[in-house]
A and B are shown apart, each in its own frame.
Chain A
Amino acid sequence: MPASLQEVKRRIASTKKTGQITGAMQMVSTAKLNQIQKHSESYQTYASKIRSVITHLAQSHLLDSASAAKSQTSQEGKLNTLGMLKQRPVKKTGIVVMTSDRGLVGSYNSNVIKQTMDLIKDGGHNKDDVVIIAIGGTGAEFFSKRGYNVAYEYRGVKDVPTFREVRPIVEAIVTMYDNGLYDQLFVCYNHFVNSLTSIFRAEKMLPISAENMGVDDLAVADEETNYHIEYETEPSRDAILEVILPQYAESLVYGALLDAKTSEHASSSTAMKSASDNAKDIISALELQYNRARQSAITTEITEITGAQAALD
């Protein structure tokens, strides 16, 4: 006979309590997930607007500068004055790593961190030419412990971050790029697919180039929105671009942050769900064990009583 009756009983009680806690946490995460998904929708309208305008503007800008570059290649430095569109020789790479502040989110953090390390390795970077911008405590600790240059770290992102709250972060990221702290910027985060799956994504956000502007989607989008409209612009195209580009970069980073948070809630909810399920399994196994122990105790007792009776007769 394994554990005593008392002990099994105690274990059942404690597992039940743990299961209750994880069950509650699951519900909380699910509620947060719903909230953030609603929020993401309203962000999407903003993002698509800004993207359509910027694609329109940048296309003509890129075309202009491309044709101009052909005619006078020697002066290309002067042509492209817009910092964010300019491809600089890459000396340093900035990597934004978005992780969670707390644990209990399943493989969410380890996934991001592992794949980010792979990205650093595959890109042929080393500790000296990588600048880490950590959003979320786990990533910050991981990279600073390993001697990486963590230029910026931010903890305590709200569960449903509003743009106003994260504005300082995104502004800092964009300013650091402007100041030449790094020459290209990757944003690494988990992209939310559905509540069970999220996939790692590393996006090159700066400098803004045709490929990360979704120009390849243009053919599809062209039919819905009229890119071919000839806009009157005030002031000049380039001046407007100069205003919009930082705004666009900020919105990109914010979008990634939203996406990461969404997938954090999702994976937290999944992790808690499987924890509750496990608790249920353990409880049923323990209950079986408990009943067996109880049964055998009764049998022993009966045998003893009948034995004693027989001895008396």
Chain B
Amino acid sequence: MDEKPVLTVNVVTPDGPVYENTTDLVICKTTVGEVGIMPNRLPLLASLAIDEIRVKTGEDTFDEVAVSGGFIEFSNNVLSVVASAAERKEEIDTSRAERARKRAEARIAKAKEQKDDNELRRAEVSLRRAINRLSISNKK
């Protein structure tokens, strides 16, 4: 009877599901702060920051998934992470991310020069995405 309650996480992107697992704790970073989600929580909707999602897999081990924004929806013990792009830590293409970082930096410099606020904002977002991927994949 006293089986530990679990929740199902699935991460979906336009290019298909990226990750699926059951766990008893997920930690994600929303735009206003970190939130830990455990089974039988109240339904929740939150927008995500460009950061990582950590899914507890063991006593002290976590699976890490990099997400580029998007949102989470939790109901009936199912947590859906809906993001326009997401990768598991192992699948991050570091050389690609590195290139993206350089590109974004160049764009920022150019946008600053031309005082193009829209472009600057977009470039900053892509820079943040690239840095996020790099920092997650470099982490032990």
Contacts and interface: CB of A to CB of B under 8 A. Distances in A.
A45 B45 contact: no
24 contacts: A42-B15, A42-B17, A43-B16, A46-B13, A46-B16, A47-B14, A49-B80, A50-B82, A53-B82, A57-B45, A163-B13, A163-B85, A175-B118, A175-B122, A232-B43, A232-B44, A233-B45, A234-B32, A234-B47, A235-B31, A235-B46, A239-B31, A239-B47, A243-B70
Interface string A141-173: 000000000000000000000111001000100
Interface string A240-274: 10011001001100100000000000000000000
Interface string A34-56: 00000100110111011001000
Contacts, number: 93
A77 to B, nearest CB: 22
Contacts of B70: 243, 247
Contacts of A243: 31, 47, 69-71
B32 A163 contact: no
Interface residues of B, number: 28
B17 A45 contact: yes
Interface of A: 39, 42-43, 45-47, 49-50, 53, 57, 162-164, 167, 171, 175, 179, 226, 229-235, 239-240, 243-244, 247, 250-251, 254
A201 B54 CA distance: 41
Main secondary structure of the interface of A (DSSP, over half): helix
B45 A53 contact: yes
Nearest to B76: A226
Nearest to B75: A229
Given A175-B118, A231-B75, A232-B42, 14 more contacts: A39-B15, A43-B14, A49-B80, A231-B44, A231-B73, A234-B44, A235-B30, A235-B32, A235-B46, A235-B47, A240-B46, A240-B47, A243-B71, A251-B84
